[in-house]
Structure 1
């Protein structure tokens, strides 16, 4: 507690908000296997829950601040079969390296390291060539892929925003791993750079989704009607693609 003296001489007391403790690494045994689980507490949580963090290849157990640790861990242990199955389903990591394959807007391309050239990246049919020292390949390729995404993304955003007559304050491309896109109340849009691996219709749908949020900051019927009208094609196929394949976008460049 902290006390504060008022002008009347009365001591006012208040309690600082209870801070969430640091994440705790747990291990749960299931069928002879040891399963890694990260235990976190949240002031917004109302019950214990489990989610898969694909980017870090782990399962996260979230519990309310006041829930007993044993209760939360017991819940996770009761779901050990689900945890084991989800960890087993995680896609293999695919680092950027010579000879590796990555999809460029859904089309497979082989990475070719070119030690005989300096400081550039270029595309040939079915291949992406990266010059320079091998240790620089991952960074140079990621920078090039991010630029390729922006080249398609920026005009697409402005075209759709023009259709709803709303300004776009800023377009950011980030390493967001929990969502593919976002729209702020100030008209700033953000997208994951990993969308460069997705088919064009998926990018079109996600841009339509976020631009629709410039008008409706919710997911009500009017929002979905507007998002559908902004898509260049049917909305359901890219939605289904993301549901079935979205996790695979996180495996590249790890």
Structure 2
């Protein structure tokens, strides 16, 4: 079975299935991609497409429920909106301007041809993430005497951050859209892993010493975190 995409009927309607072939997988697996809204089915060596379809249809209610919980996709176009640090800004196309992309009075202005607005807004978001998130992590690290060896940004699908055994910390760039309290908590969470590479009691005690926002941030991520993944990079 080779990789590919197709529309498949199930009890609740139709879904788009992305097939993935894996030599490492030991069994058929299925998940919902929060960005595209597609159902990703991974087939191990020797598995057939019909086996994957059988799994899909056996769990069609789970798939339908998962898709129904996804927030609507966000369109980065004129008249749409973008969020930075938890604050919502209107996107306004300014065809006659020559300033690129700039934020002013709660409005994100975008110059140039209208067909390039989504690409320019996406690039602006990534640039803001690069400018803000590492600096905030370093400031928090300095305030509590912890020293990561490296800070990297990635576009992850399931984790907001991670810390490796060599002290390198990764953050999902999409966090720049979350409220500052949420960013503070995720950064504290990863900094705590510099001392505790687990999620034991001592780890959570340290997290609570590093940030007062844990409960609030966890609730926000549970309620709204998926919406950050519905903004697809262009």
Q: TM-score range by the shorter chain?
A: 0.7 to 0.9
Q: List runs of 5+ in structure 2 lacking aligned partners.
A: none
After TM superposition, the runs of 4+ consecutive aligned structure 1 residues lying more than 4 A away are 24-28, 41-48, 63-72
Any residues of structure 2 matched to 1:1-254 within 5 Å, and which?
22-23=2-3, 25=5, 28-31=8-11, 33-40=13-20, 42=22, 45=25, 47-62=27-42, 64-65=44-45, 70-231=50-211, 233-253=212-232
Residues 43, 52 of structure 2: 8 Å contact kept: yes
CA-to-aligned-CA distance 1:51-93 (integer Å, 9 cap, x gap): 2111122122345546676555423211112212322333222
Which gives a bigger RCO, structure 1 or 2 (Cα 8 Å, sep 6+)?
Answer: 2
Tell me the distance in 2 between the aligned counterparts of 1:194 and 1:97.
18
Find the counterpart in structure 2 of residue 3 from structure 1: none
TM-score (norm 1): 0.78
How many residues are paired up? 233
Q: List runs of 5+ in structure 1 lacking aligned partners.
A: 1-20
Distance 1:195 1:58, change over 3 A: same
TM-score (norm 2): 0.84
- Cα distance, 1:106 vs. partner? 1.4
Q: Between 221-230 and 168-177, report the one with greater CA deviation.
A: 168-177
Find the counterpart in structure 2 of residue 4 from structure 1: none
Could you say what secondary structure the match of 1:96 adopts?
coil
Higher gyration radius (CA): 1
**Cα-Cα RMSD:** 2.6
Tell me the distance in 2 between the aligned counterparts of 1:154 and 1:183.
14
Distance 1:95 1:209, change over 3 A: same
